[in-house]
Chain A
Amino acid sequence: MSPNFRIAFRFLTAKKRAMLMSLSCTVLGVGLFIVTQATTSGFEEFFVKTLLGTDGAMRIEDRIQDTLRSMEVAGSPDFQIRQREGVKYIEGVEEPQVIMDTVRSFANVRGVSAVLRGNVQVSSSFKTEDAQVFGIKLEDHRFVSELERKITTPEGLGKFQESAGSALVGRVLADRLQLTVNESIVINVRGESRRYVVAAIYETGVRDIDKTRIYIDLAEARSLLRKPTGATFLQISLHDPKRARQEAAHMEEVLRHSVRPWQEREKEWLSVFRALSVSSAITVTVFTLIASLAMFNTLAMIVLEKTKDIAILRSMGYERRDITRIFLWQAAIVLAIGAIVGGIFGAAVSWGVSLVPLPINTLFKTEHFIVALSPWHFVQAITTAVVMVMIASLVPARRAARLEPGDIVRGTAQ
């Protein structure tokens, strides 16, 4: 044990009350940092997971048609610059099979599924609602969404697989139409009506989806919507959804279709979460600021009370930097204990918060507060505390080191 550490430890334990004060501030700072980070990122992660699970990592939508403009470079007729003037989009994917084959060759692609969408009216014996049919090929769509896991009725997807005349209806829509499995609905498009059997009811938790979408087989949708070829969009899932932007840019280049990654599609909501995490970062910064102020205060107090000891130490050959270290060690001891206890405290509170009932059913579905504890939060919390507390401690520590032993013993040190 270094002599400086020994002295620091003894100084600290002699001032138990002040030390406990700054220790509890550090514990609170670290703990609340972890809790706020865990809750904010908990909701965000859950939201992202939900939307990736329903609408995939990206969508290929419209075909791009470049309009090019040629321009003669002054004086030289055989030297021209071709410049992209604007981009024109042609709605939909005209040749889905070709595009799908190409998309599958991308290493990061997990699955791709062609979707044909159309606006319809749906009626039960009870009432009529506006809705959208999504024509899908189940064996493709399985790889791009978690539809299978969102089925709430015990029969599962079996019936939907077997019969072309069956449909998957969202929970909210089913409730509105007072539907249960095996009952029939009538879908009406531009005057033509067809009857389908409800094969299963799904619930994604996203209200907008659950109240509008009816999934039917792609071939059936083609004939219902009278679109024998093409697709409204291709839904793609990725092994690493974080790379969606890069993949999208790459695919756009290769496929000459507009490719929208989920980050762009859900820009508004993601920016809400961004704002949320900034505001929680501010709260958290305030906590750590309080912790470091408490530390500053404690150390400044100990320095004041220990000036005579500083003079004694200096008279015995302890250098200025020893004095600085003695006080920094005190901060370090408080920090070390505070980080460990704060980490445990943060984890415990996060766990407690996750038990708080909080039914949400709009953007996603949950019954409880969502927390996502990650080691990264602990690293962030502790790093922030270390940096702030050490900076705050540096001031009194250096002040202590600057004291002249002669001034102290004469009582004129300030």
Chain B
Amino acid sequence: MSTSLHAVSAAPVGDFALRCSGLQRYLGQGDGRVHVLKGVSFEARRGQVYAIVGPSGCGKSTLLYLLGLLDQPDGGDIEINGQRMSNRDDFARTAARGAHIGFVFQFHFLMLEFTALENVMMPMRKLGRLTAPEMEARARMLLDAVGLGAKTHRLGTQLSGGEQQRVAVARALANQPSIILADEPTGNLDVKNSTLVFDLLTRLAKDNGQAVILVTHNPEIAQRCDVTRPMRDGLFV
């Protein structure tokens, strides 16, 4: 397997990498129970970059967790690469996460006892498609791409918030997932680095045919995406 960033993807640009329809999600218990997602439908094609925007608390992260198979919807369907995932067991959903999805969390990004390099290699080790030297070469290449080539051996605790965030982006790309879900991946970054990360994600989408879905509060970034979906109160508007 090539360790290049620009490996050729299996499916042609234009296919749906991810579809969801009628997603419902309630959070909290008893009186605190909130109807957070009220029937969200959404689809993402390969090679496209999507921005989900909207006010704080409207349910963007909640939606992203559902799409990333980290959480289960109370209603509605999710399809990953044509396979219905919302009714599958934990094992199948975990396997799909490992093979098809790269996730960047909004907060807490890294496993702090591990170096940047080890963090990026972590998903590759689980998937086990590459040999150890190949994994390391790929991890270095990804860290280089996010501008951290010189800090590969720093522990998570020895990196700034923005640096951690960039390592998390590199890690989300580790297994060449067909879908990249990023919850404010440029939230902590200066202009230069947020441009770097955003350009990297768009380039990947174009070259590898990956679907990139990112949540952002930055209008400039949202504007540069192929599709912008504004969200309000648990619904796309």
The CA of A6 and the CA of B125, in the complex, are separated in Å by 11
Q: Contact residue range for chain B?
A: 20 to 34
Those of A300-329 within 8 Å (CB) of chain B: 308-309, 311-320, 322
Contacts of B101 in A (CB 8 A): 315
| Known A-B contacts A308-B108, A315-B97, A319-B91; A3 and B126 likewise in contact (beta carbons under 8 Å) | yes
The CA of A404 and the CA of B66, in the complex, are separated in Å by 12
**In the complex, residue of chain B having the shortest beta-carbon distance to the beta carbon of A13:** B113
Q: Is the CB of B97 within 8 A of A317?
A: yes
Q: Is B198 located at the chain interface by the 8 A CB criterion?
A: no
Q: Of B68-76, B141-149, B215-223, which stretch is located at the interface?
A: B68-76
CB distance from A155 to the nearest CB of B (A): 76
Q: Is A228 located at the chain interface by the 8 A CB criterion?
A: no
Contacts of A190 in B (CB 8 A): none
Those of B101-128 within 8 Å (CB) of chain A: 101, 103, 105, 108-111, 113-114, 122-123, 125-127
CB distance from B107 to the nearest CB of A (A): 8
Contact of B65 among A11, A13, A318, A409 (CB under 8 A): A409
CB distance from B105 to the nearest CB of A (A): 6
Those of A71-107 within 8 Å (CB) of chain B: none
Q: Is the CB of B111 within 8 A of A309?
A: yes
The CA of A319 and the CA of B127, in the complex, are separated in Å by 11
Q: Is the CB of B98 within 8 A of A316?
A: yes
Question: Which of A10, A320, A409 has the most chain B CB atoms inside 10 A of its CB?
Answer: A409
**In the complex, residue of chain B having the shortest beta-carbon distance to the beta carbon of A401:** B90
Q: Is B45 located at the chain interface by the 8 A CB criterion?
A: no
Q: Contact residue range for chain A?
A: 20 to 34
Q: Is A410 located at the chain interface by the 8 A CB criterion?
A: yes
Q: Is B99 located at the chain interface by the 8 A CB criterion?
A: yes
| Known A-B contacts A10-B113, A14-B113; A405 and B122 likewise in contact (beta carbons under 8 Å) | no
Q: Is B9 located at the chain interface by the 8 A CB criterion?
A: no
Q: Is the CB of A317 within 8 A of B70?
A: no
The CA of A13 and the CA of B113, in the complex, are separated in Å by 9
The CA of A318 and the CA of B126, in the complex, are separated in Å by 7
State the majority secondary structure of interface residues on A: helix
The CA of A314 and the CA of B101, in the complex, are separated in Å by 12
Contact of A405 among B27, B70, B127, B171 (CB under 8 A): B70
Those of A365-414 within 8 Å (CB) of chain B: 404-407, 409-410, 412
Q: Is the CB of B98 within 8 A of A317?
A: yes
**In the complex, residue of chain B having the shortest beta-carbon distance to the beta carbon of A309:** B111
Q: Is B188 located at the chain interface by the 8 A CB criterion?
A: no
Contacts of B111 in A (CB 8 A): 7, 309, 312-313
CB distance from A291 to the nearest CB of B (A): 25
7 smallest A-B Cβ distances: which pairs? A317-B98, A406-B71, A3-B125, A316-B123, A405-B70, A14-B113, A315-B103
Residues of B within 8 A of A (CB): 27, 61, 65, 68, 70-72, 90-91, 94-95, 97-99, 101, 103, 105, 108-111, 113-114, 122-123, 125-127, 171, 175
Extra pairs beyond A309-B111, A313-B111, A319-B95 (18, CB < 8 Å): A3-B126, A10-B113, A13-B113, A14-B113, A312-B108, A312-B110, A312-B111, A314-B70, A315-B70, A315-B97, A315-B101, A316-B171, A317-B98, A317-B175, A318-B94, A319-B91, A405-B70, A409-B70
Mind listing 5 A-B residue pairs with CB under 8 Å? A314-B70, A315-B105, A316-B103, A316-B126, A406-B70
